[in-house]
Amino acid sequence: MGYLPAGIAFGVLAQVAGVPIWATIMLSIILYAGAAQYACLPMLSAGLPIGSIATNIAAINLRHIFYGVPLLKYLPTNKLAKAYCLFALTDETFSVMTSLPAESRQALILPISLFNQSWWVLASTVGVLIGSALDDLVPHLDFALVCLFVILAYEQFQNIKRYFPIGIAVIGLVVASLFTSNWLLLVAIIICMLLILARGYWLNKTLGEAND
How far is Cα 90 from Cα 115, in angstroms, rounded to an integer? Answer: 12
Q: What is the mean pLDDT of the chain?
A: 83
Inter-residue long-range contacts of 156-164, CB under 8 Å, 24+ positions, other chains counted = 156/95, 156/98, 156/99, 159/98, 159/99, 160/98, 164/199
pLDDT, tens digit, 9 for 90 and up, residues 178-203: 988 877 877 888 888 888 888 888 88
Q: Which burial class, exposed, middle or buried, applies to 19 when counting CB atoms under 10 A from its CB (0-12, 13-18, 19+)?
A: buried
Mean pLDDT confidence for 129-147: 67
**49 Cβ contact list (under 8 Å, min separation 6):** none
How far is Cα 4 from Cα 141, in angstroms, rounded to an integer? Answer: 12
Q: What is the pLDDT of residue 90?
A: 87
User: CB of 142 within 8 A of CB of 38?
Assistant: yes
Q: What is the pLDDT of residue 136?
A: 60
Selected residue with higher pLDDT from 186 and 111: 111
Q: What is the pLDDT of residue 174?
A: 92
Q: Is 2 helix (H, G, I), strand (E, B) or coil?
A: coil
Q: What is the pLDDT of residue 133?
A: 64
**1 Cβ contact list (under 8 Å, min separation 6):** 119
pLDDT, tens digit, 9 for 90 and up, residues 76-105: 999 999 999 999 998 888 888 888 888 999
Whether the per-residue pLDDT at 122 is higher than 90: the answer is: yes
CA distances from 122 to 6, 24, 116, 181 (A): 11, 11, 10, 34
Task: State CA 182 to chain mean position distance.
Answer: 20
Mean pLDDT confidence for 114-135: 84
Closest CA to 152 of 169, 172, 137, 174: 169
- Please count the CA atoms within 13 angstroms of the CA of 44 that sit on its side-chain side: 18
pTM over cut 0.75: no
Inter-residue long-range contacts of 175-179, CB under 8 Å, 24+ positions, other chains counted = none
Whether the per-residue pLDDT at 138 is higher than 70: the answer is: no
How far is Cα 19 from Cα 99, in angstroms, rounded to an integer? Answer: 36
